[in-house]
């Protein structure tokens, strides 16, 4: 039989490692949403002395590459310090899986983001983050780098689709260089809302399209 | 792992029937002349006579006469000829407006989009939650500029059969041409042009155990369709290119092999699968109408799981099915059909299409139901959307 994925991907897809929730986790995060397609949740336990990840679990609502990447990042993260684990990249995860099809970047990058966000969540809970960063144009731009343009599998900033960002009095206005009737316009809008709307000092988000 | 593949993707294409291959063979090795050589040598006459004979069989299957049926390379080409041929014939003379449904298959939908880029206007009709077009909206959308309405006989994904008799009547009353894509109904659901006022019909051989790359287009006598595949004078000077005689022979044989008993057998498999899945697997939704659907199609959304994961797990266990999930398509776009019937991305994401054919049995249906139940249970166990799912904002 022939499959569109490497043996390693199929192995992790069939028998995903470290699946499930951790009761009272030290850090947790959910990346993606049912609207955009795939979704992954990551839970971590961290040793307060050594700041090493002692346990990590994941859950996935997604395709084979999403499940396999979720599985492999738990293996890559376990035993690492949070600073080491933060540096695990999509490329490392992909290599550890024997390669992923380029079209599947979008589905698989979520798991890597999930691990980073879970660590960030841990740092915030532990007060390791000094103070809450005010939302600036740069913060918004950074968040938009997590929104994937489904056409290319690359993020909005990278593909020059972010035409303008304004932040004033808690109102964030983002202009996307796509027609409003573009096939992915509504999905992109939902994803932007997911990434920006919940920031602590954002009162309102306005997403506009150019046509 | 099973050593035999249970193929349940018969809407994509079907396995060739051996009897079709046997019928085709002589036209590869013995009678391989082109039909247009009939005035050159006797082999050409035999080719011409064969083509005439099988054209008659195809036309009869639609209640048409033989000069109203042309052979094409398949459904895609047939629908292209219908839409673009009418556009070329009437665009300047009558108007530049088309009406299609939102859930048409890509040959019609993308031909419409291509015509929009050429300055034509297209109305995309809404459908209800079962996939039926809004007949009121159809009537209101027809203007003096409208030249063609194209609405499928049945849907490629959810199997819903449109009321094309009423649609045809509305078009006839308003003096507008009507095309229907019958790729998934031809020989499976009755369609007779003496009863249904339809001007153009797309059909294909590969969905009924005939060969790939042969299809046809019914063109009611007098329908203005301009030729745009130029070359020789084949197919009543409507579509140039040497005749695919083995293909045409295979197509006719495939049509002759479909029986009423077979269609009833397919329908029994469909109903068995739908009844078992909805009763035995929690959080499932049938896509498309329960009864007004083609006999060979069942389409079900398994909520909280992703379709590509289901299809891959089924593949590894020996079953071939397809899904409307964005992850499955090269375009990464969720099914426009499921979204058209008002489903969100989540509903498209977990949708799986099972389509039956001649070589499936009720045992296959039982096997796939039991396997899919197991796969869905496993995938739900690892899904964060299960039980006590918390959303991101709750712990930000």
Verify whether the Cβ–Cβ distance A20 to B382 is below 8 Å: yes
Helices B75-90 and B106-117 meet at what angle, rounded to 10? 30
The DSSP secondary structure of A11-79, one letter per residue, reads HHHHS-SSBS--SS-SEEEEEE-TTTS-EEEEEEEE-TTT-BEEEEEEEEES-HHHHHHHHHHHHHHTT
* Contact status of A27 with chain B (Cβ, < 8 Å): no
Of the partner residues B333, B334, B384, the one whose CB lies closest to the CB of residue A39: B384
* pLDDT one digit per residue (tens) for chain B, 396 residues: 445 899 999 999 999 999 999 999 999 999 898 887 777 788 889 999 999 999 999 999 999 999 999 999 999 999 999 999 999 999 999 999 999 999 999 999 999 999 999 999 999 999 999 999 999 999 999 999 999 999 999 999 999 999 999 999 999 999 999 999 999 999 999 999 999 999 999 999 999 999 999 999 999 999 999 999 999 999 999 999 999 999 999 999 999 999 999 999 999 999 999 999 999 999 999 999 999 999 999 999 998 899 999 999 999 999 999 998 877 766 667 889 998 998 777 788 899 999 999 999 999 999 999 999 999 999 999 988 764 333 333 322
Picking from B326, B328, B388 by the largest number of A CB atoms within 10 A of its own CB, the best residue to mutate is B326
List the domains of chain B with CATH numbers: 6-13+259-381 (3.90.1150.10), 31-257 (3.40.640.10)
Q: What does pLDDT average to over chain A?
A: 87
Is A67 in Cβ contact with B309 (below 8 Å)?
Answer: yes
Does the beta-carbon distance from B344 to A63 stay under 8 Å? no
B346 touches chain A (CB under 8 A): yes
CB A31 within 8 A of CB A82: no
Which residues of A are known catalytic residues? 36, 107
Other C-beta atoms closer than 10 Å to the C-beta of B321 total: 22
Q: What is the pLDDT of residue A101?
A: 85
Instruction: Report the pLDDT value the prediction gives residue B44, as an integer from 0 to 100.
Output: 87
Closest chain A residue to the Cα of B330, Cα to Cα: A103
Arithmetic mean of pLDDT over chain B:
93
The CA distance from A50 to the nearest CA of chain B, in Å, is 25
Give A167 to chain B, closest Cα distance, Å: 21
Among A26, A61, A186, pick the best mutation site for testing chain B contact (most B Cβ within 10 A): A61
Confidence at residue B331, expressed as pLDDT on a 0 to 100 scale: 65
User: Quick check: B392 contacting A, CB < 8 Å?
Assistant: yes
CB pairs under 8 A between A and B: 93
Straight-line distance from the first to the last Cα atom of chain B, in angstroms, rounded to the nearest whole number: 45
Is it the case that residue A130 has pLDDT exceeding 80?
Answer: no
Query: Per residue in A4-55, pLDDT tens?
Result: 899 999 999 999 999 999 999 999 888 876 655 688 999 999 999 999 999 9
Distance, CA of B304 to CA of B306 (rounded, Å): 7
E strand map for B54-159: 69-72, 97-101, 121-125, 146-150
| A151/B383 Cβ within 8 A | no
Cβ neighbors of A200 (< 8 A, separation 6 or more) are A132, A135, B396
Q: Are A13 and B308 inside 8 Å of each other by CB?
A: no
Task: Return the active site residues of B.
Answer: 327
Alpha-carbon dihedral sign for residues B272, B275, B279, B283: positive
Nearest to B304 among A61, A64, A107 (CB): A61
Interface residue B3 vs chain A (CB under 8 A):
no
Q: What is the pTM of this model?
A: 0.86
Residue A126 pLDDT: 82
Q: B326: nearest CA in chain A?
A: A37
Q: Is B145 on the interface with A (CB under 8 A)?
A: no
Can you tell me whether residue B150 is helix, strand or coil?
Answer: strand
Q: Give the domains, in start order, of chain A with CATH numbers.
A: 7-125 (3.90.1010.10), 137-209 (3.30.300.130)
What are the residues facing B286 on neighbouring strands? B300
Residue B126 CA to residue B138 CA, distance in Å, equals 9
Interface test mutation site (partner B, options A13, A30, A40, max chain B beta carbons within 10 A): A30
pLDDT, residue B327, reads 72
- Which residues 316-345 of B are in CB contact (within 8 Å) with A? 316, 325-328, 330, 332-334, 344-345
In this complex, which of A5, A37, A59 lies closest to B327 when CB atoms are compared?
Answer: A37
* Angstroms from A199 CA to nearest CA on chain B: 8
Phi, psi dihedral angles at A35 (to 5 degrees): -65, -40
Contact criterion met (CB < 8 Å) for A38 and B306: yes
- Tell me if B382 and A3 make a contact (CB, 8 A cut-off): no
């Amino acid at each position: 039989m022939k499959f569109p994925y490497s043996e390693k991907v199929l192995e992790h897809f069939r028998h995903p490692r470290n699946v499930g929730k951790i009761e009272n986790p030290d850090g947790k995060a959910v990346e993606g949403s049912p609207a955009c397609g795939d979704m992954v949740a990551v839970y971590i336990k961290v040793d307060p002395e050594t700041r090493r990840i002692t346990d990590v679990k994941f859950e996935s609502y997604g395709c084979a590459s999403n499940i396999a990447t979720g599985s492999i990042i738990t293996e890559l993260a376990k035993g690492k310090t949070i600073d080491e684990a933060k540096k695990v990249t999509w490329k490392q995860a992909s290599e550890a899986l024997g390669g992923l099809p380029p079209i599947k970047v979008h589905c698989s990058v979520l798991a890597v983001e999930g691990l980073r966000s879970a660590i960030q969540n841990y740092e915030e809970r532990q007060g390791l983050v000094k103070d809450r960063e005010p939302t600036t144009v740069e913060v918004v731009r950074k968040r938009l780098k997590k929104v994937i343009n489904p056409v290319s599998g690359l993020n909005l900033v990278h593909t020059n689709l972010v035409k303008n960002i304004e932040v004033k009095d808690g109102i964030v206005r983002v202009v996307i260089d796509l027609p409003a009737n573009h096939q992915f316009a509504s999905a992109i809008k939902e994803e932007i809302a997911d990434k920006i709307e919940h920031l602590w000092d954002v009162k309102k988000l306005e997403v506009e399209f150019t046509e | 792992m099973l050593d035999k593949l249970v193929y349940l993707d018969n809407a994509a294409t079907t396995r060739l029937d051996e009897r079709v291959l046997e019928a085709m063979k002589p036209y590869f090795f013995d009678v391989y002349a082109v039909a247009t050589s009939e005035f050159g040598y006797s082999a050409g006459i035999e080719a011409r006579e064969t083509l005439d004979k099988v054209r008659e069989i195809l036309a009869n299957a639609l209640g048409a006469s033989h000069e109203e049926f042309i052979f094409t390379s398949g459904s895609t080409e047939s629908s292209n000829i219908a839409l673009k041929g009418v556009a070329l014939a009437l665009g300047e003379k009558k108007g530049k407006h088309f009406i299609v449904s939102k859930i048409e298959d890509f040959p019609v939908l993308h031909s419409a989009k291509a015509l929009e880029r050429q300055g034509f206007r297209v109305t995309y009709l809404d459908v209800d939650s079962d996939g039926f077009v809004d007949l009121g909206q159809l009537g209101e959308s027809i203007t003096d500029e409208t030249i063609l309405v194209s609405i499928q006989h049945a849907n490629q994904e959810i199997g819903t059969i449109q009321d094309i008799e009423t649609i045809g009547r509305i078009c006839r009353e308003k003096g507008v041409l009507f095309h229907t894509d019958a790729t998934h109904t031809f020989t499976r659901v009755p369609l007779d042009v003496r009863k249904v006022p339809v001007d153009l019909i797309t059909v294909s051989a590969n969905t009924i155990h005939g060969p790939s790359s042969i299809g046809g287009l019914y063109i009611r006598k007098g329908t203005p369709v301009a030729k745009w595949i130029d070359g020789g004078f084949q197919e009543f000077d409507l579509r140039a290119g040497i005749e695919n005689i083995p293909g045409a022979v295979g197509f006719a044989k495939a049509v002759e092999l479909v029986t009423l008993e077979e269609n009833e057998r397919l329908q029994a498999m469909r109903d068995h699968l739908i009844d078992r899945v909805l009763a035995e697997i929690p959080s499932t939704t049938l896509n498309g109408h329960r009864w007004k659907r083609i006999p060979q199609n069942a389409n079900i959304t398994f909520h909280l799981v992703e379709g590509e994961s289901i299809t891959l797990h089924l593949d590894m266990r020996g079953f071939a099915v397809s899904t409307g999930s964005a992850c499955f398509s090269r375009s990464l776009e969720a099914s426009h059909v499921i979204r058209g019937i008002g489903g969100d991305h989540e509903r498209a994401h977990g949708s799986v299409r099972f389509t039956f054919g001649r070589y499936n049995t009720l045992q296959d249906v039982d096997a796939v139901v039991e396997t899919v139940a197991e796969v869905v249970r496993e995938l739900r166990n690892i899904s964060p959307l299960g039980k006590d799912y918390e959303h991101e904002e709750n712990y930000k």
